[in-house]
Amino acid sequence: MIVVAGVVGYLVGSLPTATLLGSLWGVDLRNEGSQNPGTNNARRLGGWGLAILVLALELAKGVGSVVLGSVLAGPTGAVVAGVAATSGNVFNVWYRFTGGKGLGISAGVVLGAWPTVFVPIIVVIIVAALISRASGAAALTAIAAINVFALIWASQDLPTGWGVPAGPLLFVLSIGLSAVILKKHLNDVLRPADRP
């Protein structure tokens, strides 16, 4: 059932919700602006209303994939489905295995699997974005932070909320999400074109 959880998570993550919302708004997120079907590009092209809707759906897909994975295969299934959902967003089958940058859906995965770290991660992203004025740098800071938090939570056996218990699965989650989204955000830092 773990494999099924991964497939389900990938399919949920690959749903082209941002592109569909953009088309309803009269903008083409895949071919205009930064050409990234994510929250930043949605804000630039369609305003805050579109951006909030895009982010809300990405969060919902992340949470939903974790819940489905948990139902199918317990905590391990939740982690597998969550990482697979982010993979579906970044390496999207509907876009010939290109896609978004995975930060919004990763936040949803964290909210579903490890809710007690959700607010600290969001604070890290906001502070890093305000300091650097670059979304790529903020994302890289969040990637580093979630791995540090995984170490702290696991070593101190801190509560994770309703999601995955503290322990090795947190490292699988943090490393898995980091591995999937790292390259695109590293590219943003090397070619800083995507400002918050």
- What does the domain layout of the chain look like in residue ranges? 2-190
| Greatest C-alpha distance within the chain | 49
**Gap between the Cα atoms of 42 and 101, Å rounded:** 13
| pLDDT at site 62 | 96
**Number of Cβ within a 10 Å radius of residue 108:** 27
| pLDDT at site 97 | 86
| pLDDT at site 95 | 85
Residue 194 pLDDT > 60: no
| pLDDT at site 39 | 85
Residue showing tokens 């502070």: 127
* Mean pLDDT value across the chain: 88
Question: Which among 47-56, 60-69, 125-134 has the top mean pLDDT?
Answer: 60-69
Tokens of 191: 């070619």
Instruction: Indicate the burial class of 160 (C-beta count within 10 angstroms; 0-12, 13-18, 19 or more).
Output: buried
Determine the average pLDDT of the residues in 131-136.
76
Helix locations, 26-132, DSSP H: 39-90, 103-113, 118-132
| pLDDT at site 132 | 76
Listed range (84-93, 111-120, 122-131) with the worst mean pLDDT: 122-131
Q: Which of 84, 90, 100 is nearest to 22 (CA)?
A: 100
Contacts of 55 (CB under 8 A, 6+ apart): 39, 104
What whole-number percentage of the chain has pLDDT above 70? 94
| pLDDT at site 189 | 58
pTM, rounded to two decimals: 0.90
Identity (one letter) of the amino acid at 9? G
Listed range (39-48, 139-148, 179-188) with the worst mean pLDDT: 179-188
| pLDDT at site 190 | 59
| pLDDT at site 29 | 85
Q: Which of 119, 127, 141 is nearest to 185 (CA)?
A: 141
